[in-house]
Chains A and B, each alone.
Chain A
Amino acid sequence: MVRFLLGRLAVLIPTFIGVSIIAFSFIRLLPGDPVALLSGERVMSPERHAIISAQLGFDRPIVVQYLDYIWGILRGDFGTSIVTKQPILESFFALFPATLELSICAILFAIILGIPAGIFAAIKRGSFFDQTIMGTALVGYSMPIFWWGLLLIILFSGILQWTPVSGRISLLYFFPPVTGFMLIDSLISGQAGAFKSAASHLILPTIVLGTIPLAVIARQTRSAMLEVLSEDYVRTARAKGLSPLRVIGVHALRNAMIPVITTIGLQVGVMLAGAILTETIFSWPGIGKWMVDSVFRRDYPVIQGGLLMIAAIIMVVNLIVDLLYGLINPRIRH
């Protein structure tokens, strides 16, 4: 297991260095001069431009700038936003819980509905039920989620007036963030109605972000189940006279879950991409919206730091999934 881990790390570290070079060089390629942007509408004299350039370190050789940037990252310093002047790491940690809370809810939504749906579809293979589920899953898989979000807003916020349109909680409530998770914080605050407000804000974004993972998990569960159900050991279990519930729940499910866990792990990247759209539609104050806003504001250091941190999260999650996979399925380790 240790060798497996070291082998994975040997690939991961060069990849991460590559990611950092990409994130760093993108910013150097972006059109527009960040120093001129700072001055806003006013015209800046060449002398002043040179002074600020030097202050920000833009006048040094690019390799020195890169090494300096990496040295900063190793000490936990990702630089500061040009627009808000806040340290990037600080904004990231302030915003990340919002994305994390939304992503956890979305993946739970996808798993809780997707795995049973896939199992039933596999058991009742070819039935009307199977065809309906798989048809729905393909629609979900093909869904432009930014449109799906708008449709849900029209229906639930517009026509039915059940859910709010945007944000994480009603403006009526205010309490200091403790965990950063609005559902937990609103409970801790003890204010009447706060939890309900937080939950109702969370419903639509959860559905929107969870739709594609739900479809993917249902499809994957079904095909993994079908494969396992045709195995000899399942036939043996049936022949021994075990109840269908036991055959499916114990013998088949355990092995069918191996590819499904990998699929769930791969959804992390899908979710972070989906967060860009979902958070934009629902004005959800997370890192997806933060990235989009920064692209529009040309806030270079934020784009750079955000790219790096998001890639790091995906890589770490993939590593964890690989390790889990190695634990469940020892064949993979060698």
Chain B
Amino acid sequence: MNGHVTIRLASERVNHCVASSNELPRFYTPGEVISGMQDFMRGHGTYVEDDCIKSSVAGVMQKVNKLICVRPLKSRYVGEIGDVVVGRVLEVQQKRWKIETNSRLDSILQLSSVNLPGGELRRRSAEDEQMMRKHLQEGDLISAEVQSVFSDGSLSLHTRSLKYGKLSQGVLMKVFPSLIKRRKNHFHNLPCGIAIIIGNNGFIWMSPMQRNVIIGENKDEIQNYEHQPINKSDREIMARLKNCVAALVAAKMMLDDSSIMFAYEESLRYDDVKELLDPEVMLDIAFLTQHRLNSIMEE
């Protein structure tokens, strides 16, 4: 039995940038002058001082006709209706749950916007209210969809579909929401046998794919199934996926099912999963993934 320890020197620090220098966008820092006020309008992430438009966040500039916006690199999640999110229950309140979704304010899941057992459309009784903690309790993770956005920017969620709801065993990763590529589908069953939910809010959930087991209506049976230990091979694939996502995030690459899968395939050249924690290996994987994405774009 021998532990694995690596201590590297600061002089060997790895720069995680994979983009070649000519395609690097211009970054603006807070307070930096973007342009004169004359014929531009200020948008999100900017402010006006001394007749100049200045950036108020660190990020890249976007120009639409005369409107100048700066999109921050790191920010909280700003929700839009229809987004798939992964969130954590913080509090059980009167007829609603408070959910943490990495946005500025906590999101809300109404009791009326979840599917309760026994019929789609039925009135929520006082009993249901008392049973709320049985359904979802503090700390539980859920996948949900944004139903509406309140005037203060907080989100109202719903789980009125079979694909949404409580998540069982697996790993949660938190990344910047700006790195998530918007897609039609955010639920993926990867060919390596892992189900992944890439939440628009930057929460990524990985779990073993549901095997074709017949789960009866019996609640105990579901509970039993939930508490089964996950076998070693699934665990290994999930660890590998997790480290691959971390490598892509370190290189600030956009995440979607194809980039994650490419990174996974490239990572297979490293036998041991814990090798992927090494910064140089992470850069290598990000670089190879970028290369494959570029070659697909060209085709």
Q: Do A and B come from one complex?
A: no
List the interface of chain A (C-beta within 8 A of B).
none
Q: Which residues of B contact A (CB under 8 A)?
A: none
